[in-house]
């Protein structure tokens, strides 16, 4: 029962931290880390023992799967050059540069272990950056950070596992490791894509037979990242890349017919899951902080001088990570510009000014994936032999996460001062065109609709009723077309009518809901009817969007 109480307390704290984060001008991860540290204070004394393998298995697959699902694929492809250089090249550059620096700074950390630590410090967290900047970053920069965060989660953690294996076995060959890396990566991607495709085929087969219950399909989606991870690991491939590939593939398979209810439920469930898991990871970091500090200073005679030196080590490592990232961003950005000029393309993805370079550098915030990875470091190398400096590795990773969050909180708003994010005109034009074309298709379909069944006679009353209904529906779609008219006056009038209609519909829906409550209070309708009608009313109100 103690474990159940602990889980419930942590979930409650995740929810409360979200509310507190609205009142305190700090990023949510910092609030959650502080809440966990407060809960672990000796007065309260909540202690959570973590199994490294269980921690890695529970948290990483669903988070990586969700990242792959949400990533805009077209933007990922358009910015593939900068993203790949950040997600793969920068990771290797960081592993080598930061790895040697960590070994030089702290000789008690063996070189393979230093490489492993540098690898696990490579993944970035674009969600935290978005929360800090309040979506004010230029769209291409945000897409680059999102694509980098998605792909360097995989490349950084795969490199981390190789370095970890070298630290445990003491054997490392660059040629063999490079070949194995490629095979493991490609195998993980193939397994994730294949398994996701098979689940999509299974769901299509189920839907064709009328088995389209949303809850059943959502359960399949919840199990898919864990299945992809476990299957890939069992076959000797990368479970991390398999989970990412499964998420990216599933975003294409999410357009199955007769699945509107499933998609609505699926998005809600995954939003909840992602919020809860991210929050739990940072809460657990806060809960582990007292134990991490105690473990790091337990072998020393004095607490505060040792802790001060270790904190200086963390600051130095974080400074080197920022320096390496800035050098890489500057160099690669200039190289991409030179290559594009050689190819006769004068335009760049973004002008490489100093502000953009610093935004991209300081936007490399470390987060949940780094913590989950470092927590997965095994306790023992072999029977009776502990992993070298495991507690120090966790301390450094936790310190870098905190410093990167604090640095981003201070620097990014200053760099964005005076910058107004311009609307994405291309995206808005595409959305307007999509709405216009779909409304036209609906009108054409209604015009060609035969309301009478084949071979059946249609009386005058039925024909009149059908004509009235078709006219009503086509009037709604023509109203949508008016909203996307090129004339500014027509669009303004359509927008005004749309807001007025939304207000009237909202008032009518609320009146329906109040009447439903009254009927329920007077026992004129049962609970089943209330749930069914209330669900439809809520969905209708949600479809109205924000009413001004």
Question: Tell me: the pLDDT tens digits for 270-281?
Answer: 888 888 888 888
Distance in angstroms (rounded) separating the CA atoms of residues 471 and 465: 10
Same domain? For 258 and 360 the reply is yes
254 pLDDT tier (thresholds 50, 70, 90) = low
Give the pLDDT mean for 140-150: 82
pLDDT at position 174: 67
Same domain? For 478 and 516 the reply is no
Contact (Cβ atoms closer than 8 angstroms) between residue 264 and residue 217: no
pLDDT at position 328: 92
More confident residue, 124 or 421: 124
Measured CA to CA in angstroms, residue 45 lies from 7, 344, 375, 415 at distances of 15, 64, 21, 40
Residue 123, pLDDT above cutoff 60: yes
Residue 489, pLDDT above cutoff 80: no
The SS3 call for residue 380 is strand
How does the average pLDDT of the chain come out, rounded?
A: 79
What CATH number does the domain containing 396 carry? 1.20.1530.20
Residue 348, pLDDT above cutoff 50: no
Say how many domains are in the chain.
3
Distance in angstroms (rounded) separating the CA atoms of residues 243 and 188: 8
Same domain? For 104 and 242 the reply is yes
Same domain? For 475 and 392 the reply is no
pLDDT at position 498: 73
Does residue 491 lie within any of the structural domains? no
Count Cβ atoms below 10 Å from residue 374 Cβ, excluding itself: 25
pLDDT at position 396: 92
Same domain? For 406 and 438 the reply is no
Give the pLDDT mean for 470-490: 73
Residue 23, pLDDT above cutoff 70: yes
Note down the domain range covering 476. Answer: 429-447+462-484
Same domain? For 106 and 148 the reply is yes
Same domain? For 395 and 466 the reply is no
In DSSP terms, 382 is beta-bridged to: 385
H or E element at residue 385: strand 385-386
Same domain? For 411 and 466 the reply is no
pLDDT at position 99: 92
Q: b/e for 122-148, b at 16 or more Cβ within 10 A? A: bbbbbbbbbbbbeeebbbbbbbbbbbb
């Amino acid at each position: 029962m103690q474990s159940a109480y602990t889980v419930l307390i942590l979930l409650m704290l995740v929810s409360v931290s979200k509310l507190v984060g609205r009142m305190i001008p700090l990023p949510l991860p910092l609030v959650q880390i502080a809440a966990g540290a407060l809960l672990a204070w000796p007065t309260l004394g909540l202690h959570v023992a973590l199994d490294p393998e269980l921690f890695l298995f529970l948290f990483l697959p669903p988070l990586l799967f969700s990242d792959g699902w949400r990533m805009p694929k077209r933007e990922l492809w358009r910015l593939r050059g900068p993203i790949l250089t950040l997600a793969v090249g920068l990771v290797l550059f960081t592993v080598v540069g930061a790895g040697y620096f960590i070994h030089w700074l702290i000789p008690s950390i063996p070189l393979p272990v230093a490489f492993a630590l540098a690898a696990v410090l490579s993944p970035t967290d674009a969600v935290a950056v978005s929360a800090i900047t309040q979506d004010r970053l230029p769209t291409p920069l945000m897409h680059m950070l999102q694509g980098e965060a998605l792909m360097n989660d995989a490349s950084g953690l795969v490199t981390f596992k190789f370095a970890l294996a070298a630290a445990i076995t003491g054997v490392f060959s660059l040629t063999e490791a490079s070949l194995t890396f490629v095979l493991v990566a490609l195998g993980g991607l193939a397994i994730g894509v294949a398994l996701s495709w098979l689940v999509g085929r299974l769901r299509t087969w189920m839907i064709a037979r009328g088995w389209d219950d949303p809850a059943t399909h959502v359960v399949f989606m919840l199990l898919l990242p864990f299945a992809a991870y476990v299957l890939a690991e069992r076959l000797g491939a990368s479970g991390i890349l398999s989970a990412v590939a499964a998420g990216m593939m599933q975003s294409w398979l999410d357009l199955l017919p007769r699945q509107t209810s499933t998609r609505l439920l699926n998005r809600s469930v995954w939003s909840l899951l992602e919020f809860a898991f991210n929050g739990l990871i940072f809460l657990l970091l806060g809960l582990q902080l007292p134990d991490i500090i105690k473990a790091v200073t337990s072998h020393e005679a004095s607490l505060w001088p040792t802790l001060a030196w270790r904190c200086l080590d963390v600051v130095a490592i974080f400074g080197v990570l920022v320096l390496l990232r800035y050098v890489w961003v500057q160099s690669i950005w200039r190289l991409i510009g030179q290559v594009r000029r050689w190819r006769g393309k004068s335009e760049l993805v973004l002008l490489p000014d100093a502000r953009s370079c610093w935004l991209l550098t300081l936007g490399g915030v470390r987060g949940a994936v780094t913590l989950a990875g470092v927590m997965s470091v095994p306790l023992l190398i072999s029977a009776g032999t502990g992993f070298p400096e495991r507690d120090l590795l966790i301390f450094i990773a936790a310190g870098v996460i905190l410093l990167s969050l604090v640095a981003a909180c201070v620097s990014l708003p200053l760099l964005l001062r005076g910058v107004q994010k311009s609307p994405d005109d291309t995206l808005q034009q595409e959305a307007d065109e999509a709405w216009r074309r779909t409304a036209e298709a609906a009108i054409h379909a209604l015009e060609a609709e035969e309301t009478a069944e084949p071979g059946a006679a249609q009386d005058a009353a039925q024909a009149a009723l059908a004509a009235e209904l078709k006219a009503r529906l086509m009037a709604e779609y023509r109203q949508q077309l008016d909203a996307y008219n090129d004339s500014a006056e027509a669009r303004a009038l359509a927008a005004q009518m749309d807001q007025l209609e939304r207000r009237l519909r909202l008032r009518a829906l609320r009146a329906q809901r109040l009447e439903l409550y009254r009927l329920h209070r007077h026992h004129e309708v049962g609970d089943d009817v209330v749930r069914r009608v209330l669900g439809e009313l809520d969905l209708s109100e949600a479809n109205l969007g924000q009413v001004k």
